[in-house]
Chain A
Amino acid sequence: MRYSSLFFLYITGGLVLLVLLLVHASFSESARQPVLEEKAALVKMLKLTDLCLFTEARYTRNLSQADLGTAFQDHPMSLEHFPSGSFTQPPESIRKFP
């Protein structure tokens, strides 16, 4: 087979697969709606404020609730707490200053 045919075959295959993945994404999006709603309901009922992404410290577990004035612990980006701190940003309320 010619190289160009192989190339176009590969690109077409990739494109088809990508479209299938997009279809998969939109299907699972609707399939997971109940799960999302369950989580939202739990948040509402328990009055939760944060995602349970980083459980290692209180200012990473409840990002939006961190007490920001504390010295040595709560740099706005919690950089000292690597790596989770590096994924986070200071909460909105103190980001108003440049």
Chain B
Amino acid sequence: MRQWIEKQRYIIDFTISSLLRRKVKNFGLLALYTLIVFMLASTMFFTYSIKKEASLILKDTPEIIVQKIVAGRHDLFPVSYIDTLKKIRGVAAVESRLWGYYYDGLVSANYTLLVPPANGDTSGKSRPSAKTTVVVSESGGQQADKSKPLFELGGAVLEPGTLITGNGIARLRDIGKDDYMPFRAFDGSVLNLRIAGALSSQSELVSSDLLLITAEDFRKLFGIDNRYVTDVTVAVNNPSEVEMVASKIRKALPEARPISRVEILRTYDSIFNWRGGMMIVIFSAAVLAFVIFAWDKASGLSAGERREIGILKAVGWETSDVIQMKFWEGAVVSLTAFFTGVILAYVHVFFTGSIVFEPALKGWSSLYPNFELTPFVNLEQLTTLFFLTVVPYTVATIVPIWRAATIDPDSAMRFTGE
């Protein structure tokens, strides 16, 4: 055993000194390899964490959302339909939602305007939401008594003439509590709303571009009649009946389009899927690079390498020793690249906020959430990465060496020139 270890160490010593002999080539290779591992690992860490986070955050999203579709477009939902929905068996509650987008030409950003529900917990299952700073007022009904505050959040009271901003907007516009934000309404008039408060910066991943506004102001701003809402949420009695209720809705209201929670969650489960455009670019780049590596390795040994192997065999190395040497060559390069790449990727994604991906993720939006990802990393991911990177490279290094077995030890005797 001791002998075996010592032998492996000798072989590693020799391999590394061989690698160092072609410094430029091998350090270039190592750097490229590390970069590939880094990109793959960063992608993997980022997508896994954001998917996991999405599934945790969105677990209590409405069970069913019902939109109305007109000529293929999302249209306003008539309030009168709500009664039809309520009559469907299995439906526990139907609530309307008022929300829309507002384009702010000043900073060329899109905001999401949302009227907070009058009653925070509408699902019927009155589970106290843990550790939230949200305080819900006792008033009920969408068009309830206008003198009472509709909504209160961390002390910020939302009443007509005020709004609550998402942290991203506050940052982008550099505004805060008690500042005024002007909005151009549908009829050209200007609506000046006072900021009553801001949503926490920690919730930016879901709330960065939100503007919470009262129903009254919302209707005034967009000229939406009281008979209409944007869409409705449906809570069901039995969670297992969601699909059935959705098909009943489709039957009762043929122009409606129900979207279930499962679908929403799956949408986020498949985001950043490897088949997506950017992902396929990254992955195919990685695959191509590996092919180049493998090609370089498999296209055989250079004359210098053949000569060297000939000498080694002549001085008493077995074929298996030469193969072990090549194995270590692959292992040294790929393990070094693996550890460096993975560690850098972790730092990149979870300490620097994916600074390399940022331009691509931001895309064309001028309002991008500042969010810190929770590092959901597990051994399985690391194992997958290992098998994606280290193993193929090491194998690609060893394979062509079978040819070296055909190098006769006496070839060293036949070299006449240097």
Residues in A whose Cβ lies below 8 Å from that of B375: 24-25, 28-29
Known: A63-B271, A64-B267. A43 touches B69 (CB 8 A): no
Q: Are B259 and A41 in contact (CB under 8 A)?
A: no
Type the 1/0 row for B195-214, where 1 means its CB is closer than 8 Å to any CB of A.
Answer: 00001101111111110100
Mask: chain A, 68-98; 1 = CB below 8 Å from B; 0 = not: 0111000001010111111111011101000
Given the complex, which residues of B lie within 8 Å of A85, measured CB to CB? 277
A29 x B376 contact (CB < 8 A) = yes
A24-B375, A52-B209 given; A42·B73 CB < 8 A: no
B72 within 8 A of A: yes
**CB neighbors of B among A34-74 (8 A):** 34-58, 60-65, 67, 69-71
Residue B340 CB within 8 A of the other chain? yes
Are B54 and A51 touching (Cβ within 8 A)? Answer: yes
In the complex, the answer to whether A77 meets B276 with C-beta atoms within 8 Å is: yes
Structural contact, B101 and A70, CB atoms closer than 8 A: no
- Shortest CB distance B319–A (Å): 22
| Cβ-defined contact, B379 with A22, below 8 A | yes
Which chain A residue lies CB-closest to B14? A3
Pairwise interchain contact A52-B205, C-beta atoms closer than 8 A: yes
* B91 interfacial by beta-carbon distance below 8 Å: no
B259/A43 in contact, CB under 8 A? no
Q: Give the number of residues in B that approach A within 8 Å (Cβ atoms).
A: 103
Please classify the interface of chain B as helix (H, G, I), strand (E, B), loop, or mixed, using the class held by over half of its residues: mixed
Partner of B259, one of A35, A48, A64: A64
Does B62 have its Cβ within 8 Å of any Cβ on chain A? yes
Q: Is the CB of A42 within 8 A of B132?
A: yes
The docked-state distance in angstroms from the alpha carbon of A33 to that of B86 is 36
| Interchain CB contact under 8 A, B95 and A42 | no
Is B204 within 8 A of A87, CB to CB? no
Chain A contact surface mostly: helix
Given contacts A10-B336, A65-B65, contact A41 B72 (CB under 8 A): no
Determine if B180 is an interface residue (Cβ-Cβ < 8 Å).
no
Of chain A, the residue at the smallest CB distance from B58 is A43
Residues of B within 8 A of A70 (CB): 72-73
Residue numbers in B under 8 Å from A63 (CB-CB) = 267-268, 271
Which residues on A sit within 8 Å (CB–CB) of B166?
Answer: 52
Q: What residue of chain A has the Cβ atom nearest to residue B367's Cβ?
A: A55
* Given A28-B375, A36-B53, A42-B132, A49:B13 Cβ within 8 A: no
- Say whether B12 faces chain A, with CB atoms less than 8 Å apart: yes
Shortest C-beta distance, A95 to chain B (Å), equals 8
B384 adjacent to chain A (CB < 8 Å)? no
Say whether B346 contacts A46, CB under 8 Å: no
Q: Do B200 and A38 touch (CB < 8 A)? A: yes
CB of B134 within 8 A of chain A?
Answer: yes
Some 8 contacts from A to B, beta carbons below 8 A apart, are A42-B132, A44-B121, A45-B129, A47-B117, A51-B54, A61-B209, A69-B71, A82-B363
Query: Which residues of B approach A to under 8 Å, CB–CB?
Result: 8-10, 12-13, 16-17, 20, 50, 53-54, 56-62, 65, 67, 69, 71-74, 95, 97, 101, 109-110, 112, 114, 116-117, 120-123, 129-134, 136, 166, 168, 199-200, 202-210, 212, 231, 233, 259, 262-264, 266-268, 270-273, 275-279, 332, 335-336, 338-340, 342-343, 346, 350, 360-361, 363-369, 372, 374-377, 379, 382
Known: A42-B199, A77-B277, A92-B270. 20 other contacts (CB 8 A): A2-B9, A2-B13, A5-B9, A21-B343, A22-B379, A28-B375, A39-B57, A40-B60, A43-B60, A44-B123, A51-B206, A55-B168, A55-B208, A55-B367, A55-B369, A69-B69, A84-B361, A86-B278, A89-B267, A89-B271
